[in-house]
C-alpha cells in the first residue's frame, strides 16, 4: 500500500489538527479555569466535578439527538460541506466567547454551545473519509488524522500553557491569559481547516427527491427500521456504545478528576501534554499494524488496555501515578478511536455515510452522556472521585464482549466494499 497522501487526504487530516487544539484546551486548561471560577463563587470540589460532568453530558445528549438528523440532510448532494461549515462556525465563535465571561454559570452555558458545534462538526468530518480516500486506505488515513491531530494541537497548546502558567511573570491576570488562549485556539482551528473547506468535494451522496426534510427523515426512518437486518452494523453500534463511553468519559473528565484529587495543576497539564506526544507515534503505529493484523483484533486489544487503565485509575492518588496513567492513555487512545472509525466506514454504504455516522454518534457521544453522568453522580454522592471513575470498569467489559459477537456476525456477513 502506498504511503504518500493525496492533497485531499492531507486536507482532511488537517481538520483533526485544527479541532484537536480545542479538544486539548477543554480537556486540560479549561476544567482548571472553570474550577477557578467556581471556587471564587464558593462551589465545593465535589460539586465542581459534578457540574462539569453534567455539562459534558448535556453536550453529548444534544449531539446524539441532532447528529442523525443533520447527518441525513448532509448526505443529500452538495449539503455536507455547508452544514459542516455551520457547525465549525458555532464551535469557533463559542470558543472565542468563552474568553469574555467571568461568571461560572455563563461560562458553562457558552461551553456547552461551543462543544455542541465542535462535536456536531465531527459527525460530518468523520463521514467525509469515504469521499477523500479509498476503502483499502481507510485505516491508515483515519489513524493519521488522529496522530497529526494529537501532535499538531500541541503547538497552540504550548503557547496557551505558557500564557496561563506565566501570567504573573508577564504581568497579566489569569482571566486575560485565558482570553488570549481562547483567541489563539479559535484562530488556529479556522486557519487549519481552510484547506478542507476549499478542496472538499462530496463524491458519495443521495439525490434530492421532493421535499428535502421529508425525504431525509424518510431515509433515516427506513435505515433505523432496517437496522436489525444489518447485523454486523447493529451489533457494532451496541458494542461501540459501551466501550467508547469509557474512552470519551476519560477524555472529558481526566483533568477534572485529577484536580478533584488535589493533584498539582502544573503537573496535570504537563502530564496530559505528554499524552498527546505519546499518542502521535502510537496512532501511526496502530494504523500500520492494521495492514498486518485484523482491525477487529486490534480494537479488542485497545478495549482490554482501557479496562486495565480504569482499574489503575481506581486506586490513583499521586502525581506520579497520574503521569503513568497519561502515558498509558496516550498509547491506546488514538488506536481505539481511529480504528473504530475506519472499521465502521467499511461496514456502511458510502452514499449514506452522514446518516450512519450520525447514528454512530448516538452510540458514541450519547453513550458518553451515561459515563460522565455516572462519574459525576457517584463522585457527588460518595464524595470520592476514585469511586466515580470505578463505574467505567463494567462498561469496558460489556463493550468488549459485545464487540466480539459483532466480529462473529461480520464473518458470516462480509463487509460492504
Over range 40-67, report the average pLDDT.
77
Decide if pLDDT at 214 tops 60.
no
Query: Cell digits for 316?
Result: 490513583
Angle, in degrees to the nearest 10, between helices 174-199 and 7-27 = 160
Do residues 307 and 397 lie in contact, with contact meaning Cβ atoms separated by under 8 Å?
Answer: yes
What distance in Å separates the CA atoms of residue 375 and residue 387, rounded to the nearest whole number?
A: 8
pLDDT for position 141: 93
In this prediction, residue 413 has a pLDDT band, given cuts at 50, 70 and 90, of low
Q: Which of 36, 270, 34 is nearest to 154 (CA)?
A: 270
Decide if pLDDT at 332 tops 50.
yes
Decide if pLDDT at 335 tops 60.
yes
pLDDT for position 416: 47
pLDDT for position 417: 42
* Percent of the chain topping pLDDT 70: 86
β-partners of residue 206 are 76
What distance in Å separates the CA atoms of residue 58 and residue 54, rounded to the nearest whole number?
A: 6
Cα 99 to chain centroid distance, Å, stands at 22
Kindly report, residue by residue over 121-171, the tens digit of the pLDDT: 988 898 888 899 998 899 999 999 989 998 998 899 889 989 988 888 989
Over range 331-340, report the average pLDDT.
92
Mean pLDDT of the chain: 83
pLDDT for position 415: 45
Do residues 404 and 238 lie in contact, with contact meaning Cβ atoms separated by under 8 Å?
Answer: no
DSSP 169: T
Decide if pLDDT at 268 tops 70.
yes
272 versus 226: the higher-pLDDT residue is 272
Kindly report, residue by residue over 292-309, the tens digit of the pLDDT: 999 999 999 999 999 998
Per the document, the length of the chain is 417
Q: Which of 223, 205, 211, 221 is nearest to 74 (CA)?
A: 205
Over range 172-194, report the average pLDDT.
94
Q: Which of 95, 48, 72 is nearest to 362 (CA)?
A: 72
Decide if pLDDT at 73 tops 80.
no
Q: Which of 237, 258, 227 is nearest to 329 (CA)?
A: 258
In this prediction, residue 97 has a pLDDT band, given cuts at 50, 70 and 90, of very high
158 membership: H or E segment, kind and range: helix 154-165
Q: Is 68 exposed, middle or buried (0-12, 13-18, 19+ CB in 10 A)?
A: buried
In this prediction, residue 10 has a pLDDT band, given cuts at 50, 70 and 90, of very high
pLDDT for position 393: 86
What distance in Å separates the CA atoms of residue 195 and residue 208, rounded to the nearest whole number?
A: 27
User: Coil, strand, or helix at residue 317?
Assistant: coil
Kindly report, residue by residue over 12-34, the tens digit of the pLDDT: 999 999 999 998 888 778 888 88
pLDDT for position 52: 79
pLDDT for position 39: 83
Decide if pLDDT at 210 tops 60.
no
In this prediction, residue 185 has a pLDDT band, given cuts at 50, 70 and 90, of very high
Amino acid at each position: 500500500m502506498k504511503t504518500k497522501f493525496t492533497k485531499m487526504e492531507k486536507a482532511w487530516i488537517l481538520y483533526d489538527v485544527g479541532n484537536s487544539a480545542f479538544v486539548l484546551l477543554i480537556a486540560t486548561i479549561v476544567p482548571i479555569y472553570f474550577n477557578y471560577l467556581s471556587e471564587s463563587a464558593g462551589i465545593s470540589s465535589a460539586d465542581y466535578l459534578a457540574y462539569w460532568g453534567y455539562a459534558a453530558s448535556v453536550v453529548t445528549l444534544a449531539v446524539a439527538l441532532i447528529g442523525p438528523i443533520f447527518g441525513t440532510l448532509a448526505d443529500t448532494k452538495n449539503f455536507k460541506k455547508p452544514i459542516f461549515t455551520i457547525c465549525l462556525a458555532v464551535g469557533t465563535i463559542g470558543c472565542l466567547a468563552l474568553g469574555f465571561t467571568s461568571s461560572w454559570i455563563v461560562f458553562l452555558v457558552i461551553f456547552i454551545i461551543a462543544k455542541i458545534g465542535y462535536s456536531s462538526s465531527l459527525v460530518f468530518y468523520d463521514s467525509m473519509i469515504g469521499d477523500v480516500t479509498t476503502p483499502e486506505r481507510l485505516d491508515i488515513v483515519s489513524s493519521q488524522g488522529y496522530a497529526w491531530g494529537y501532535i499538531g494541537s500541541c503547538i497552540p497548546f504550548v503557547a496557551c500553557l505558557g500564557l496561563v502558567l506565566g501570567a504573573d511573570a508577564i504581568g497579566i491576570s489569569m482571566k486575560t491569559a485565558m482570553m488570549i488562549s481562547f483567541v489563539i485556539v479559535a484562530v488556529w482551528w479556522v486557519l487549519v481547516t481552510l484547506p478542507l473547506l476549499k478542496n472538499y468535494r462530496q463524491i458519495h451522496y443521495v439525490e434530492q427527491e421532493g421535499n428535502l426534510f421529508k425525504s431525509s427523515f424518510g431515509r433515516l426512518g427506513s435505515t433505523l427500521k432496517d437496522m436489525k437486518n444489518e447485523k454486523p452494523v447493529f451489533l457494532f453500534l451496541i458494542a461501540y456504545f459501551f466501550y467508547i463511553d469509557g474512552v470519551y468519559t476519560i477524555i472529558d473528565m481526566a483533568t477534572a478528576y485529577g484536580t478533584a484529587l488535589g493533584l498539582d495543576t502544573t503537573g496535570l497539564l504537563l502530564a496530559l501534554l505528554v499524552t498527546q506526544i505519546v499518542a502521535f507515534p502510537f496512532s501511526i503505529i496502530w494504523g500500520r499494524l492494521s495492514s498486518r493484523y485484523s482491525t477487529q483484533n486490534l480494537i479488542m486489544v485497545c478495549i482490554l488496555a482501557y479496562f486495565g487503565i480504569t482499574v489503575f485509575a481506581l486506586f490513583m492518588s499521586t502525581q506520579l501515578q497520574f503521569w503513568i496513567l497519561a502515558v498509558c492513555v496516550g498509547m491506546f487512545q488514538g488506536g481505539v478511536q481511529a480504528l473504530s472509525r475506519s472499521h465502521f466506514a467499511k461496514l456502511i454504504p458510502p452514499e449514506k455515510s452522514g446518516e450512519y455516522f450520525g447514528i454512530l454518534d448516538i452510540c458514541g457521544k450519547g453513550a458518553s452522556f451515561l459515563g460522565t453522568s455516572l462519574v459525576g453522580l457517584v463522585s457527588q454522592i460518595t464524595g470520592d472521585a476514585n469511586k466515580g471513575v470505578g463505574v467505567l470498569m463494567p462498561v469496558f467489559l460489556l463493550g468488549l464482549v459485545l464487540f466480539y459477537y459483532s466480529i462473529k456476525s461480520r464473518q458470516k456477513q462480509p463487509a460492504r466494499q
